[in-house]
Amino acid sequence: MSHILVTGGAGFIGANFVLSWLAQAGADSVVNVDKLTYAGNLKTLASLDGDARHIFSRSDICDRAALDSLLKQYRPRAVLHFAAESHVDRSIHGPADFIETNIVGTFTLLEAVRAYYADLGDAEKAAFRFLHVSTDEVFGSLGPTDPQFTETTAYAPNSPYSASKAASDHLVRAYHHTYGLPVLTTNCSNNYGPYHFPEKLIPLMITNALNGKPLPVYGDGLNVRDWLYVGDHCSAIREVLARGVPGETYNVGGWNEKTNLDVVHTLCDLLDELQPKAAGSYRDQIAFVKDRPGHDRRYAIDAGKLERELGWKPAETFETGLRKTVQWYLSHQSWVEDVISGDYRNWVAKQYAA
């Protein structure tokens, strides 16, 4: 049985990837490595309980011995690296975790994979890939009329989070050029969709709206992001893994530039349609709050290389993807409540105690 190893596979994007990967007929088994920090949630993967193709290991990517053991035992044909601290606000208040996970963790993983790769046979080496999942935030901020980020845009990270991801990207590149490790890097725009931790913009707005709480919008709400439905991101990663050229980077975007205020207005209008309030609109709950420090004004991804070279483009528009997302949250309120209350962490503790 062949395997792939996925780090951070209980987080938002990683878990969506694991679920979509194992939904494919004849897919490799997944060795899922996750530390289960606040954003790692095994309940997201509950549908895989009892599935022998999903092998979960509660391990830290900074634990070299654990990584060596897993690589030796399962001999994966690919490693997909999703694990990261990813919330800008958290990085502003506590950057140390971001340095540890995103830089030291990526270094430790690369060292383990380098040693593993060195012992592979020629055919296994030719087939092996290390795919590093990164962000558009490493490129910094754009002006209103600046061209979109391409794969050759200079790095200019502006937050501890984006700086730590930029460092991890540079390490991955260096391990290809110095050691010959067959790496692939993807830089994606803002993801949204099912199982998103409710402190990020879209799930936070949905959750607060339904609970009658204010919908906090930073500054004037005119910061622009390119929005990518997580299912589209997962399909792009599969394409890059299958046909990407080692050493290359690929931007993954949704071609959906929206201001934060546009996103919140669209969400409110969808909720007004799908679960209307007794009186008024959810827009009435919008509250502008003090902007966060160093808030980048605009991100925009040019995903043309991925379409030209690998034939990938997103299947969802922002409107179709957001409708699917809102419908998912409306029908999975118990998942949201478990996260908000912390019960999902208690569940993990009980599982491991047992």
- What's domain 3-353's superfamily in CATH? NAD(P)-binding Rossmann-like Domain (3.40.50.720)
Do residues 66 and 57 touch, judged by C-beta distance below 8 A? yes
Q: Does the annotation count 136 as an active-site position?
A: yes
- Say if residues 133 and 80 touch (Cβ distance below 8 Å): yes
Strands 224-229 and 257-259: antiparallel
Q: What are phi and psi of 40, to 5 degrees?
A: -90, 130
Look at residue 338 in the predicted model and tell me its pLDDT.
Answer: 87
Q: Is 74 a catalytic residue?
A: no
* Phi, psi for 204 (deg, rounded to 5): -65, -45
Q: What is the mean pLDDT of each run of 10 residues along the chain (354 residues)?
A: 96 98 96 93 95 98 98 98 90 93 98 98 98 97 96 96 97 98 98 91 94 94 97 98 98 97 98 96 96 91 98 97 98 90 62 46
Q: What are the residues whose beta carbons fall under 8 Å from the beta carbon of 96, sequence distance 6 or more?
A: none
Which one of 85, 137, 226, 316 is the catalytic residue? 137
Which amino acid makes up residue 317? Answer: T
- Which position among 117, 161, 175, 192 bears the catalytic label? 161
- Whether 137 sits among the annotated catalytic residues: the reply is yes
pTM comes to 0.94
> Which is the catalytic residue, given 34, 60, 85, 136?
136
